[in-house]
Structure 1
């Protein structure tokens, strides 16, 4: 009876309600075992622009309970995009991926820089760049007024800050490039991949739920995707959840 009341409360809650109360109602539905109602509550908040790592994490957990492992992986990835240090989201994503049918053979080892970009949030990267850029000009301005013995260290500080600014600018550029080829998760149980966008083509191979790909191009209902080992093909956009 309690679970039914929670589900009815979620369905009846108007959009103007306090989002904190609605989040708690969705959490209550989850605790009551009403995972579909919980997921609906979390999705409604996201659709209205309320976003946080915890909200994506909770939605991922509800989706796992509903057997939607691909969608759950996408939710965990979104949580990590907002907070790369979220240990719960990272652990749950690893558990979801452990059940993947597909094993990508020949995937290139990701560079340290690529892994750093993935684990650094957009806000943190922007703050680091701004801080390094400001430090350059502060050091240069201080050097003009400093006594002779302090000018050398201040000049060195400006050089170090410039190096940090270059590194963080490269980090921001890498993150921007990653956004131009967004990642996606296969959500179809079995999804045929063809050599072209035409449905009439014979499938070259299949991908299964939970596999991560990069979306290179979209034409109507077809998307050209690339696996981590460089293998490419076309599949239905409806079988993908873009992160």
Structure 2
């Protein structure tokens, strides 16, 4: 009888722990949304950031946090959160629009090279799928190509057509594989960040007494080349590099 009671207590505590673990994030998210609706944007941000500290990461949390930052005119933080949301859900129209509108409010206008039709089409696809989706697409294309080649062994009359079809699948697979490796490199191995201070001076070295080269403003997206103590060496182009304090930058 004692063993049964002990077992029942264990089940009760385990079940209660699971329920609390589920309810806490949901309650924080609800409180964040409620604070936003009531115009208390600082409080809303604190709830969303608490969720992120608990590893409750989702595009909705980043999006809502971005909206709260935007309301407080924290342009850099807003762009940072929208960028993070789009990495997880790259086709979300609201996030795309809000990011575009927020970027229009930035001071620094970085010139980009003219893109051709093929590059535009490639980026259209690349920007609208995340790493998990690209992995699934590559797996499907590879499996389809292999199955077609296997079937061609048994259907001799249609072997030529099947080889052609397998070649098409193989070519598309190769293109999406490049997309996948590029996105993995860009998101996991290449550091990019957003200037979160109103302005940040880029110097020729990682100290305040180095020569001032140029000044960036809140919301500008940069690539991080390397770091030294409390400084990042950032890059906007091959000809435009400098050292900026880490406190002025948040990593995407």
**Larger RCO, structure (CA 8 Å, separation 6 or more):** 1
Tell me how far apart the structure 2 counterparts of residues 224 and 15 of structure 1 sit (CA, whole Å): 41
Tell me how far apart the structure 2 counterparts of residues 21 and 198 of structure 1 sit (CA, whole Å): 44
Identify which range, 72-81 or 217-226, moves more after superposition.
Answer: 217-226
Q: Does 1:221 align with 2:230?
A: yes
Shift of 1:114: 4.6
Identify which range, 197-206 or 72-81, moves more after superposition.
Answer: 197-206
Q: Secondary structure at the match of 1:119?
A: coil
TM-score for the superposition, normalised by structure 2: 0.84
Query: Residue 229 and residue 128 in structure 1: after superposition, are their counterparts in 2 closer, same or farther (change >3 A)?
Result: same
Q: Is the 8 A contact 2:75 2:106 kept in 1?
A: no
Tell me how far apart the structure 2 counterparts of residues 229 and 91 of structure 1 sit (CA, whole Å): 29
What are the within-5 Å matches in structure 2 for residues 88-127 of structure 1? 88-105=94-111, 107-109=112-114, 111-112=119-120, 113-114=122-123, 116-127=125-136
Tell me how far apart the structure 2 counterparts of residues 102 and 94 of structure 1 sit (CA, whole Å): 14
Shift of 1:225: 1.0
Segments of 5+ residues of structure 2 without an aligned counterpart are: 1-19
Q: Secondary structure at the match of 1:18?
A: helix
Tell me how far apart the structure 1 counterparts of residues 237 and 94 of structure 2 sit (CA, whole Å): 24
Give deviations 1:79-133, integer Å, cap 9, x for gaps: 111111111111111111111111224x324543455433321111111111111
Tell me how far apart the structure 2 counterparts of residues 32 and 176 of structure 1 sit (CA, whole Å): 39
Give deviations 1:137-195, integer Å, cap 9, x for gaps: 1111111122x222222212211111122111111121123132222110011100011
Q: Is the 8 A contact 2:90 2:127 kept in 1?
A: yes
Tell me how far apart the structure 2 counterparts of residues 118 and 237 of structure 1 sit (CA, whole Å): 28
Identify which range, 113-122 or 174-183, moves more after superposition.
Answer: 113-122
Q: Is the 8 A contact 1:104 1:228 kept in 2?
A: no
Shift of 1:16: 6.9
Tell me how far apart the structure 1 counterparts of residues 88 and 239 of structure 2 sit (CA, whole Å): 27
What are the within-5 Å matches in structure 2 for residues 148-227 of structure 1? 148-179=156-187, 180-227=189-236
Q: Which residue of 1 aligns with 2:58?
A: 52
Structure possessing the higher radius of gyration over alpha carbons = 2
Q: Is the 8 A contact 1:213 1:228 kept in 2?
A: no
TM-score for the superposition, normalised by structure 1: 0.87
Tell me how far apart the structure 1 counterparts of residues 217 and 108 of structure 2 sit (CA, whole Å): 6
Q: Is the 8 A contact 2:204 2:242 kept in 1?
A: yes
Tell me how far apart the structure 2 counterparts of residues 240 and 53 of structure 1 sit (CA, whole Å): 21
Tell me how far apart the structure 1 counterparts of residues 251 and 114 of structure 2 sit (CA, whole Å): 23
Q: Is the 8 A contact 2:131 2:184 kept in 1?
A: no
Shift of 1:17: 3.7
Q: Does 1:82 align with 2:88?
A: yes
Q: Which residue of 1 aligns with 2:251?
A: 242
Shift of 1:208: 0.5
